[in-house]
Structure 1
Amino acid sequence: MQNISRFISKNLFHHKDLTGYFEPVLQVFKPSWRSGYFRAQVKSIRVLCENALKITLKPERKWPIHTAGQHISLTTEQQGRLISRVFTIASGAKKLKETGLIDLVIRTHDKGNFTPYLGELAMNSWVNISEPMGEFIFDEQSNHTTLLAGGSGITPFIAMLDDLQANTQNHIHLLYYAKPNGHLMVEVLEKFMTALPNFSFELLHRSGHGSFTKYVSVEHTDELLVCGPEEMFIEAEKFCKSRQIPIRAEHFQAIRPTQSVNEAARFKVRLNHGDLEVSNQDSLLSEFQSHNKPVTYGCGMGICHQCQCLKKKGIVRDIRDGSLSDNSEELIQLCVTQAVTDLELEL
Structure 2
Amino acid sequence: MQNILRFISNNLFHHRDLSGYFEPVIQVIKPAWRSGFFRAQVKGIRVLGENALKITLKPERKWPTHTAGQHISLTIVQQGRLISRVFTIASGAKKLKETGLFDLVIRTHDKGNFTPYLGELAMNSWVNISNPMGEFIFDEQSNHTTLLAGGSGITPFIAMLNDLQTNMHQHVHLLYYAKPNSHLLVDVLEKLLTRLPNFSFELLNRNEHGSFSKFVSIEHTDELLVCGPEAMYVEAEEFCKSRQIPIRAEHFQAIKPTKPLNEAARFTVKLNHGDLEISNRDSLLSEFQSHNKPVTYGCGMGICHQCQCVKKKGIVKDMRDGRLSDNSEELIQLCVSQAVTDLELEL
Map of 2:303 onto structure 1: 303
| Alignment partners' CA distance in 2, 1:281 and 1:272 | 23
Alignment of 1:116-135 (within 5 A): 116-135=116-135
Map of 1:248 onto structure 2: 248
**Residue 49 in 1 paired to residue 49 in 2?**
yes
Map of 1:337 onto structure 2: 337
| Alignment partners' CA distance in 2, 1:161 and 1:5 | 46
The letter of the residue matching 2:265 is: A
| Alignment partners' CA distance in 1, 2:31 and 2:328 | 25
Residue 274 (structure 1) shift: 1.4
| Alignment partners' CA distance in 2, 1:145 and 1:50 | 30
The letter of the residue matching 1:321 is: D
| Alignment partners' CA distance in 2, 1:173 and 1:278 | 48
Map of 2:94 onto structure 1: 94
**Residue 206 in 1 paired to residue 195 in 2?**
no
List 4+ stretches of structure 1 deviating above 4 A.
none
Q: Deviations over 1:149-179 (max 9, x none)?
A: 0000000000000100110000000000000
Structure 1 residues without counterparts, runs of 5 or longer? none
Map of 2:313 onto structure 1: 313
The letter of the residue matching 2:128 is: N
**Residue 322 in 1 paired to residue 287 in 2?**
no
| Alignment partners' CA distance in 2, 1:301 and 1:165 | 53
| Alignment partners' CA distance in 2, 1:232 and 1:2 | 47
Map of 2:17 onto structure 1: 17
Residue 312 (structure 1) shift: 0.3
Alignment of 1:1-347 (within 5 A): 1-347=1-347
SS in 2 for 1:275: strand
Q: Deviations over 1:25-60 (max 9, x none)?
A: 000000000000000000000000110000000000
The letter of the residue matching 1:5 is: L
Residue 222 (structure 1) shift: 0.2
The letter of the residue matching 1:103 is: D
Q: In percent, how many aligned pairs have the same letter? A: 86
Residue 258 (structure 1) shift: 1.1
Q: Deviations over 1:267-320 (max 9, x none)?
A: 000000111011111000000001110000111111111110000000000000
The letter of the residue matching 1:238 is: E
The letter of the residue matching 1:196 is: L
| Alignment partners' CA distance in 2, 1:285 and 1:37 | 23
Structure 2 residues without counterparts, runs of 5 or longer? none
The letter of the residue matching 1:188 is: V
Residue 2 (structure 1) shift: 1.1
Corresponding pairs, count: 347
The letter of the residue matching 2:172 is: I
The letter of the residue matching 2:165 is: Q
| Alignment partners' CA distance in 2, 1:300 and 1:259 | 26
The letter of the residue matching 1:327 is: N
Q: Deviations over 1:48-95 (max 9, x none)?
A: 011000000000000000000000000000011000000000000000
Structure 1 length as normaliser, TM-score? 1.00
SS in 2 for 1:227: strand
| Alignment partners' CA distance in 2, 1:298 and 1:132 | 30
What is the root-mean-square deviation in Å for CA atoms of aligned residues? 0.4
SS in 2 for 1:106: strand
The letter of the residue matching 2:338 is: Q
SS in 1 for 2:274: coil
SS in 2 for 1:301: coil
| Alignment partners' CA distance in 1, 2:322 and 2:39 | 31
Q: Deviations over 1:321-341 (max 9, x none)?
A: 011000011100101100000
SS in 2 for 1:75: strand
The letter of the residue matching 1:331 is: L
| Alignment partners' CA distance in 2, 1:257 and 1:3 | 40
